[in-house]
Amino acid sequence: MLEICAIASGSNGNCYYIGNKKDAILVDAGISCKQILLRMKEKELDSAKLKAVFISHEHSDHLRGARVLAKRLHVPVYITAKTYNAAYKNLRPDYPRFFEPASEINIGEFAVYPFLKNHDAVEPCSFRIEYAGKNIGVFTDIGEACENVQFHLEKCDALFLETNYDEKMLWEGRYPYILKRRIASAYGHLSNNQAFQLLDNHAGDHLECVFLSHLSKENNSPEIAFKEIQALETRFKVKLTSRYEAGEVIQIKI
C-alpha cells in the first residue's frame, strides 16, 4: 500500500510525501525542517523511513528546509546541478546527489522519473514516482502543460496538481501588472481553468485522486479552485491541500 500526503502546499512552501511500508521520499522541502517533521508526526508518518528528498527547482518555497533536513536525518538530496548552482548558497545541501532530467532514479522499491517542465527557473523538473505498478505525480509550478506533463499525467493513479490562481482574481487583484504577466505566462503558474482542461483531456481511467496544490493566497481560494475542478469528480476524487498544515493522508491500494 502507498501513502501520500501534502505536508505543505502553497506559495509559502511546498513538501509532498510518498511512502510505502519500508521507504518514503519527499518531493521538495520548502518549509523548515522543524515544521516538516512536526507535520509528519501529526499525521503518523514515520520520518525514519525517509530515504531521499527530491528538489524540483531553486525557488526557496521548494528548497528552504532541505539542507537542515538532510543533515538531521542523514538523507540524500537529489537536485540537478544547474538548480544547485542557481540556489542561494545558504540553502544548498551539503552533499547533493545530482540527477539528469528524463532519467530513472531508484530509491528502495521506488522508481522516480524527473522531467523538464515550463517554469521560470534554470532547470525546473516535476516528478512521477512509480511503485508496484502505481504512479504518483507531483506537478506544480507549471506555466503551461507541455507534452512532458501530459505524457506523465496520463500514467498517474494519484496526482498533486497545481491550481495556482483564478484568472479573474489575478487580473483584478492588487499585484503589479508585470507580476501578473509573469504568473499567467507560459513560464509562470497553472490556473484553475488550465488545470481543469489538462485533467479533462489527459487524465487516464485509472486516476483515483487529484490534490489541488500550490494555491495562491492572494489570487485563489480553496472554494474557488474546488468549484472549478468539481465537475470531474465523477471520474476521480478531488482533494484540497493546505499552506498551513499537512493535508489528508490518502492510501493507494496496490
Q: Rounded to 5 degrees, what are φ and ψ at 55?
A: -110, 130
Q: What is the pLDDT of residues 144-194, one digit of tens each?
A: 999 999 999 999 999 999 999 999 999 999 999 999 999 999 999 999 999
Q: Give the C-alpha separation, 193 to 199, whole Å.
A: 10
pLDDT at residue 47, as a whole number: 98
Question: Hey, what's the cell of 166?
Answer: 483564478
Rg (CA), the chain: 17
Could you give the CA distance from residue 183 to residue 190 in angstroms, rounded to a whole number? 8
pLDDT given at position 183: 98
Task: Quote the pLDDT of residue 138.
Answer: 99
So what's the pLDDT on residue 2? 97
Cα(37)–Cα(43) distance, rounded to whole angstroms? 10
Can you give the pLDDT at residue 56?
Answer: 98
Q: Give the closest residue to 83 by CA, choosing from 70, 68, 108, 66.
A: 66
Handedness of CA 182, 142, 60, 164 (dihedral sign): positive
Q: Are 66 and 88 in contact (CB under 8 A)?
A: no
**Whole-number pLDDT of residue 49:** 98
Q: pTM for the complete prediction?
A: 0.97
Among 111, 110, 16, which residue's Cα sits nearest to residue 65?
16
Residue 107 corresponds to which cell in the numbers above? Answer: 530509491
CA distance 234 to 237: 8
The pLDDT value recorded for residue 22 is 97
The pLDDT, as a whole number, for residue 36 is: 99
pLDDT reported for residue 141: 97
Going from N- to C-terminal start, the domains of the chain cover 2-252
Terminal Cα-to-Cα distance of the chain (whole angstroms) = 5
Of 141, 139, 126, 134, nearest in space to 156 by CA: 134
- 2-252 to CATH, choices 2.60.120.10, 3.60.15.10, 3.40.50.2020, 3.40.50.2300: 3.60.15.10
**What pLDDT, on a 0 to 100 scale, did the predictor assign at position 171?**
98
Task: Give the residues of the chain that fall short of pLDDT 50.
Answer: none
Q: Is residue 204 within 8 Å of 177, Cβ to Cβ? A: no
Amino acid (1-letter code) at residue 55: I
